[in-house]
Amino acid sequence: MVKSARLVICVDNSGYEVSLERRKIYVAIPDAKAQKLGQLRVVDESGEDYLYPEGMFVEAELPQSVRRAVLQAA
């Protein structure tokens, strides 16, 4: 897993109900070009990374031990 990956929580899956689950933690992969366009590269339910609007997610602020466990499970 990418060391600089962020953990985000989906708060809105409108239009992407098959790909994203609300209230679920996802791994967001750094993508500067996508960020400039207001997009976030997220590994979704398919196991692949796709671009989604940033507003659909909030940053998951977790203790380091929990973050590590989540990333290891991904």
Q: What's the confidence (pLDDT) of residue 9?
A: 97
Which residue ranges make up each domain of the chain? 6-73
Q: What's the confidence (pLDDT) of residue 67?
A: 87
Q: What's the confidence (pLDDT) of residue 3?
A: 60
| pLDDT per 10-residue tile (average), the chain, 74 residues | 80 95 95 96 93 97 89 82
| String of DSSP letters for the chain | --TT-EEEEES--TT-TTT--TT-EEEEE--HHHHHTTEEEEE-TTSSEEEEEGGGEEE----HHHHHHHHHH-
Query: Which class is 6-73 in CATH?
Result: mainly beta
